[in-house]
Amino acid sequence: MATETARSESDVPDSVSEHLTLEDRTGLLRAMLAMRGIEERAMMLYRQGKVPGSFYDGFGQEAVSAGPTWAMHGHDRLCILHRDLAAHLIRGVSPARILGQYMGREGGITGGRDGNVHFGERRVGCVGMVSMLPDMMLVATGLAMAFKMRDEKRAALTWFGDGSTSRGDFHEAMNWAGVQKLPVVFILENNQYAYSTPTASQFAVDPVERAAAYGFPGFSVDGNDVEAMFEATRQARERAIAGEGPTLIEAVTMRMHGHAAHDDMKYVPAEQIEEWKRKDPIDRQVKRLEPLGVDVAALRAEVKAEIDAAAEEALAMPMPDGDTATERLFADEPALLEDGASRWSGF
Amino acid sequence: MPTMTYLQAISDAMREEMRADERVFVMGEDIGVFGGAFKVTDGFIEEFGEARVMDTPLAESGIVGTAIGAAVEGLRPIAEMQFSDFISCGFDQLVNVAGKMYYRQGLSVNITVRLPSGGGFSGGPFHSQNPEAWFMHSPGLKVVAPSTAEDAKGLLIKAIRDPNPVVYMEHKHLYRRVKGDVPEGSYETDFSARVAREGTDLVVIAYGAMVHTALEATADIDGASVEVLDLRSLVPLDVDAILASARKCSKVVIVDEANQMCAAGAQVAAVIAEHAWEDLDGPVVRVATPDVPIPFSPTLEQAVLPQVDDVREAVRELLEY
């Protein structure tokens, strides 16, 4: 299924999953709208000087985090990358805390200790990324190792980019997960560029083909089709909890903005951007749902109101007190991962 | 109280914890069927099974990274590097992922990373290093380094139970050379310093194998009363114990087996210079390995690693100052 949908471009299949209800499909659209809306608001705040450091977004890649997260159970675990904001939202992190995070506020997820999208809310089963990519592939592999050791029917999922496939931790994680046949889903977010480096300078062989070399299947999926991403992940998770081991899913997508706010992306041909604009994941899901009677305008208004309120709440959050910067380096008590929301109607 | 080698005490600590707590497991290269390069986990696979005595792929970043994942999910992995030198391949996971996780995200990483360290037996440049200072300079990691069998067990049990990442330096040259009475059952040794021998004229501050070098060098030195302070823990560093010894003795020799530049002893010297200057009767003296890789040939290796005579000479000179 997944491979077949990979190169579909203009056509919008009605639904690529018999496992999604209309409510699921609307939920997926809502998550993508919320991701885009929050990131657009954060970009405004950045331009107003309220977001320190730089700003990174996942514009045009919303389906890559929304679809897979929808397919994961609340007791599964996610290691989330920087263009995957929808994952946090679907797990249950509030938009206000995310905007507070961007602004380095005390009420942000890390309380100002780390910036922008470097966060994971442990109370909803998420581990935040570090800048060294793809370190979290090994952490996700370790989570899956724990599930297997305890004989639990749970799975771990992580995202990583096309650039990550050049580093050793990619190999170590793929190999380890293959050797131990672990319940982990690897999502390669192939957005064509690692900063300014195109995939042609990154690898000689499409990395999805490498999965076979590690002893497990790899699928290339249309990363701008949220339902295709859901379905591919649902199947990968089924394999994982059935004890059949890992799956590599390559989400073929495009980074529509620069690496970060400072990057004008002039190294990307204009026609490439134009081509991918036509494949916008939100537009595609809207085209699916409007004929089914979903009131998309109302949904957009609802999301906007939520973000307006969240921005107000985040702007009211105090900055952290400088005197606390040296506190809480070590834990006095264990503070571990907890379960997040299970969204899919199939659970 | 049974007598054990330093190595047996390390094994005993892990056995005790694995018997008492099913969350605890060991992982590393060749530690299962083979029992480990130094046989620290000999017999473990028979007692605990291959799932909890995990022979891993040859992948140090993988060992540390997957240990982190297992830990944040509630397990308590003890990850062995076959040699401390190999932690350079797992450095990023340890320093950037494990060390910063709690500070950034409030997620505790209960891992113990065992690093068989140190030279003295022609291990050469890649099997002899003392990399503890790398981790002292990396916020969020605790670093301990026992010198006795009793502390080897107690510090390891404490490390396994600590909700934070702990780097456990076990000196290979002590494995079978050091023996001592080791209490039965479970006990924790605090991450604090220990006075290995009381004295009043001069204090030698050391940790790991150098504690034994210091004790031997100063056992009988012109009738002087020489204290030996065993740091045991490098992070946290027991500043109170360091200052108490420095103030009492007024003369300080610091011994590191590690390369001298920015070694643990450099931090100890800085602490004394900042807080005990008025109490000193002479300069702080350091004995450490010069800043070269640890060479292979015995004559070259002995020329760089601090020897008993080097410490004795430094102590004598300072006593006469």
B positions 8-37 inside 8 Å of A (CB): 25
Domain membership of residue A123 (yes or no) is yes
A186 touches B at CB < 8 Å: no
Contacting residues for A40 by C-beta, under 8 A, at least 6 apart: none
B69 touches A at CB < 8 Å: yes
Q: What is the pLDDT of residue A60?
A: 98
Note whether A172 contacts B103, CB cutoff 8 Å: no
Residue A116 φ then ψ, to 5°: 30, -125
DSSP 8-state assignment for residue A103:
T
Question: Does domain B3-181 sit in CATH 3.40.50.970?
Answer: yes
Domain membership of residue A9 (yes or no) is no
Tell me the residue range of the domain where A147 lies: 19-317
Domain membership of residue A336 (yes or no) is no
Report whether pLDDT(B243) > 50.
yes
Domain membership of residue A288 (yes or no) is yes
Domain boundaries, chain B: 3-181, 194-320
Domain membership of residue A231 (yes or no) is yes
Q: Which residues pair with B181 in a beta bridge?
A: B3
CB A28 within 8 A of CB A227: yes
Domain membership of residue A81 (yes or no) is yes
Residues in chain A where the model's pLDDT stays below 50: 1-10
Note whether A335 contacts B100, CB cutoff 8 Å: no
Mean pLDDT value across residues B14-29 = 98
Domain membership of residue A167 (yes or no) is yes
Note whether B52 contacts A149, CB cutoff 8 Å: yes
- Least CB-CB distance to A146: which of B57, B75, B101? B75
Q: Which residue of B has its CA nearest to A120?
A: B105
Q: How far, CA to CA in Å, does B48 sit from each of A151, B14, B32?
A: 16, 11, 10
CB A234 within 8 A of CB A71: yes
A119 touches B at CB < 8 Å: yes
Instruction: Note every long-range contact of A17-22, with CB atoms under 8 Å and residues 24 or more positions apart, other chains counting.
Output: A17/A227, A17/A228, A17/A230, A17/A231, A17/A234, A19/A230, A19/A231, A19/A234, A19/A344, A19/A346, A20/A227, A20/A230, A20/A231, A20/A345, A21/A345, A22/A289, A22/A292, A22/A294
pLDDT tens profile B192-229? 999 999 999 999 999 999 999 999 999 999 999 999 99
Q: Which residue of B has its CA nearest to A112?
A: B104
* Structure token digits, residue A248: 């590599």
Bond into A68 cis (ω within 30): no
Tell me the percentage of chain B whose pLDDT exceeds 70: 100
Q: Is B275 a catalytic residue?
A: no
Q: Which residues pair with B179 in a beta bridge?
A: B5
A positions 144-183 inside 8 Å of B (CB): 144-147, 149, 156, 168-169, 172-173, 175-176, 179
Note whether A128 contacts B105, CB cutoff 8 Å: yes
Contacting residues for A51 by C-beta, under 8 A, at least 6 apart: A42, A45, A102, A103, A104, A116
Note whether A122 contacts B105, CB cutoff 8 Å: yes
CB B139 within 8 A of CB B100: yes
- Least CB-CB distance to B69: which of A109, A132, A146? A146
- Distance of residue A283 Cα from the nearest chain B Cα, in angstroms: 34
CB A167 within 8 A of CB A204: no
Task: Write the ipTM.
Answer: 0.97
- Distance of residue A291 Cα from the nearest chain B Cα, in angstroms: 43
Q: What is the pLDDT of residue A223?
A: 98
Is pTM beyond 0.95 here? yes
- Least CB-CB distance to B66: which of A131, A138, A336? A138
Note whether A175 contacts B59, CB cutoff 8 Å: yes
Q: What stretches of chain B adopt beta strand conformation (E)?
A: 3-5, 24-28, 53-55, 76-80, 112-117, 142-144, 166-171, 179-181, 194-197, 202-206, 226-230, 233-235, 252-259, 285-289
B positions 74-93 inside 8 Å of A (CB): 74-75, 92-93
A77 touches B at CB < 8 Å: yes
Mean pLDDT value across residues B126-142 = 98
CA distance A129 to A67: 19
Q: What is the pLDDT of residue A5?
A: 39
DSSP for A277-342, please give it.
HTT-HHHHHHHHHGGGT--HHHHHHHHHHHHHHHHHHHHTSPPPPGGGTTS-SS-SS---------
CATH number at residue A232: 3.40.50.970
* Structure token digits, residue A57: 């977004």
Note whether A337 contacts B97, CB cutoff 8 Å: no
The sign of the torsion formed by the CA atoms of B17, B23, B28, B30 equals positive
Output the CATH code of domain B194-320: 3.40.50.920
Q: How many domains does chain A have?
A: 1
- Tell me if residue A47 falls in helix, strand or coil: helix
B262 touches A at CB < 8 Å: no
Q: What is the pLDDT of residue A11?
A: 54
Note whether B163 contacts A333, CB cutoff 8 Å: yes
Bond into B236 cis (ω within 30): yes
User: Which chain B residues have a beta carbon less than 8 Å from that of A142?
Assistant: 65-73
Q: What stretches of A37-183 adopt beta strand conformation (E)?
A: 77-80, 126-128, 156-161
Q: What is the pLDDT of residue A1?
A: 39
CA distance B106 to A156: 20
- Least CB-CB distance to B73: which of A77, A328, A332? A77
Domain membership of residue A335 (yes or no) is no
